[in-house]
Structure 1
Amino acid sequence: MRVGTTEREDAMRALGEHFAQGRLPMDEYEQRVGAAADAVTRGDLRELFTDLPAPHPPFLVPPTWAAPAPVAMPSYPQPYPPHMPAPYVEVYSHRSKVVAGLLQILVPFGAGRFYTGHYGIAVAQLLTCGGFGIWCLIDGVVLLVSGGLDAEGRRLRD
């Protein structure tokens, strides 16, 4: 099969990689590049790579065959019936409810809400001085007792 400029350039590029890796001395590299430039068929280019390992030009690599079709596996019963959902695994936040609650109580300007990522509530508590301290105190006790969620909706860890 006849080759075109693209195949010749691919062969020269692959020879350049072999030269860069030290597999070809300078004079042999120049000889092979000249032969690649003068090549007419794929057979002419294939002769240049018979004693060299990969990489080879893409058109000289033999085609890969597709794997055979998979054999049908027997079906096994599912561990959970379709009407029964799989057990739910709750993902916890990396933030702590104890730290959030203590920040709310000890720094009554929305610090605990800044920590949990609820910036709207935190700014409101900051601007109202924490509802004169009462809002932050109650919010801190609620965070300590029942926890809460962070800004991504994950439960605060204990």
Structure 2
Amino acid sequence: MSQHPDPEEMRTGTAEREEAARLLADHYSQGRITPDEYEGRVLAAYEAATVGELRPLFQDLPAPHPSCFAPRFTEPVHVHRQTAAVMPYSPKSKVTAGVLQIVLPFGTGRFYTGHVAIAFAQLAVVVFTCGIGAVWPIIDGIVLLANGGTDPQGRRLSD
């Protein structure tokens, strides 16, 4: 048996049915459906027991659709500040990256997160300054521990 139930078989509650009816009223007021279609769809919405029974009521209508149609994430997600996109967290840990940067201060944490260019730059600075440049990776490690960072795909490092 699957761990996650089929989204179409998820039961709807009063809130989902009322949202569907409200959205159908919006479509009706904009002239997208006739009075008879509206009446039939609203009755069907109030009788719907699952998401799969609500979906056909909106199949031929543009957005907005009920929020219960939106995909459900099974992994932790965050909302990107600038684009408001919902993105999953990276499988990489900000604690691991920060500790690696501090304990092995020559870009190891950045190699771990996948930022190879920064890692090579930190490595070069440490090598060419005979270790004095290790301040940069150490500070970078503290910043990673405090604020986190991202992986190369732009996903936030997990806590």
TM-score range, shorter chain: 0.3 to 0.5
**TM-score (norm. length: structure 1):** 0.46
User: Highest Rg: 1 or 2?
Assistant: 1
